Amino acid sequence: MSFLFGSRSNKTFKPKKNIPEGTHQYDLMRHAAATLGSGNLRLAVMLPEGEDLNEWVAVNTVDFFNQINMLYGTITEFCTEESCAVMSAGPKYEYHWADGHTVKKPIKCSAPKYIDYLMTWAQDQLDDETLFPSKIGVPFPKSFLLMAKTILKRLFRVYAHIYHQHFPEVVQLGEEAHLNTSFKHFIFFVQEFNLIERKELAPLQELIDKLTAKDAR
């Protein structure tokens, strides 16, 4: 797979979602990146003093979308109609796509189709200024946190699929540490604000216990 080296870090599945420079959210994003560098994830995910929870969740949700977009982008060639005819996370978990609005009756489809639906849907939500306002002074809607929870719950399934069905390829690409760091950050974040129900995390519970045990005190 040597032909992939060098360019793979720029490869994304969907276009990257950018937070406009000059906005408060851009500053928050930079703050998040700086605290992550400190190496203490529990501290890095905490709401910075004086900041708005909705805004903090919004910035981080965009960041996780971008991270997953890139991680999945590195393995798309291995995630095909043939290799992944159903969207699964191990033998016990299978997901059918529905967004509750345009698709109400869950569709049984392949993993690449499911992830395409999921990421397109997530991007549409992140781009919706009434839901994810990026301008200063524009309030977040009352339903914001609920929507962010739904997005994060669905993004988790991409991690779950990658870990269960594509881990050997991730290792082969040398992306293992990158995937683990990203997922650990994601889990610490959703745990800090209780954003995903425990039963939704079940497909990766063992891994979650392992990743978080070292930091438990």
Residues that constitute the known binding site for Zn(2+): 79, 84, 161, 166
Distance CA 99, CA 101 (A): 6
Per CB under 5 A, contacts with Zn ion among 44-103 are 79, 84
List 57, 68, 111, 207, residue binding Zn ion (CB under 5 A) = 111
DSSP single-letter state for residue 139: P
The CB-of-163 to Zn ion minimum distance in angstroms stands at: 11
Query: Of 133, 162, 163, which Cα lies nearest the Cα of 147?
Result: 133
Exposure pattern of 80-93 as b/e (b: 16+ CB <10 Å)?
A: eeeebeebbbeeee
Residue 11 vs 31, nearer CB to Zn ion: 11
Minimum distance, C-beta of residue 204 to Zn ion, in the bound complex (Å): 15
Give the burial class of 183: count Cβ atoms within 10 A of its Cβ; 0-12 exposed, 13-18 middle, 19 or more buried.
buried
Least separation in angstroms between residue 13's CB and Zn ion is: 12
CB of 153 vs Zn ion, minimal distance in Å: 19
Half-sphere exposure of 49 (CA within 13 A, CB side): 0
Please say which residue, 111 or 151, places its beta carbon nearer to Zn ion.
111
- Position 165 contacts Zn ion (CB under 5 A): yes
For Zn ion, the closer CB: 84 or 147: 84
Residues making contact with Zn ion (CB under 5 A): 79, 84, 111, 165
